[in-house]
Amino acid sequence: MTTIADFIPPILVAQSVFWLMVVLTLAGAVLAVLPLKIVHNILGLALAMFGLTGIYLYLGSQFVAMMQLLVYVGAICITYIFAIMLSPPLELSPSKRPAVKAITSLIVGAVTFLAVVQMILSTKWAPYAQPSRDWTIKTLGQELLTRYFLVFELISLLLAVAIVGAIMIAGIGQKRD
């Protein structure tokens, strides 16, 4: 019996989906920074997070992928959207970005980027661990509260930062009016 797999090797499909997801992530990242309307930024962020979900799936980590979608798209982006509810309406022309702010964020971004690149280059990469086939809740919970405790805590910190950020944006928006 001939199947589709005879004509197109599955690994090719998987790799093309992977690159599609990389492109989606990068496009989302660009969208998250460049457009002036804040809603477009958030939608870009959501797109980037969605792309990351695809990459996690490609790497065989379904749980992390679903959590990525649930926490980042479903929680963080929605939290930001609560801030947007109070942002200026469409018909007003968007305010110009102060040069100082732009330069500062550029410097911070460049430094972070260099640090991450340095970290990636200096790490001795081990061959990747064999993904576990154990999908019970007990194991997931134990791993989250022992081996991946730091990651778990960082996610909660991130959520807190997102909420504080949302309040900040809302507060500043109200002061300007």
Q: Which of 11, 18, 15 is nearest to 54 (CA)?
A: 18
Residue 32 carries which side chain, given as an amino acid letter?
Answer: A
Interface of this chain with other proteins, residues 20 to 49, rule: CB under 8 A:
37, 39-40, 43, 46
CB of 72 to other proteins, least distance (A): 9
Terminal CA-CA length for the chain:
69
Q: Does 81 bind other proteins (CB under 8 A)?
A: yes
Q: Which one of 120, 137, 174, 175 is in contact with other proteins (CB under 8 A)?
A: 137
Q: How far is the CB of 63 from other proteins (least distance, A)?
A: 6
CB of 66 to other proteins, least distance (A): 4
* One residue of 24, 52, 77, 83 binding other proteins per CB under 8 A: 77
The Cα 20–Cα 16 span in angstroms is: 6
Q: Which residue has the tokens 């999908």?
A: 135
Which residue lies nearer to other proteins by CB, 6 or 125?
A: 6
Give dist(CA 93, CA 67) in Å, integer: 37
130 makes contact with other proteins (CB under 8 A): no
Distance CA 115, CA 119 (A): 6
Contact 28, 51 (CB under 8 A): yes
- The 10 Å Cβ neighbour count of residue 139 is 11
Tell whether residue 11 is a contact of other proteins (CB under 8 A): no
Give the interface segment with other proteins, choosing from 8-16, 78-86, 96-104, 151-159 (CB under 8 A): 78-86
Contact residue for other proteins among 18, 22, 58, 74 (CB under 8 A) = 74
Instruction: Please answer whether residues 41 and 32 qualify as being in contact, where contact means their C-beta atoms are separated by less than 8 angstroms.
Output: yes
Using CB under 8 A as the binding rule, whether residue 136 contacts other proteins is answered as yes
Nearer to other proteins, 100 or 137 (CB): 137
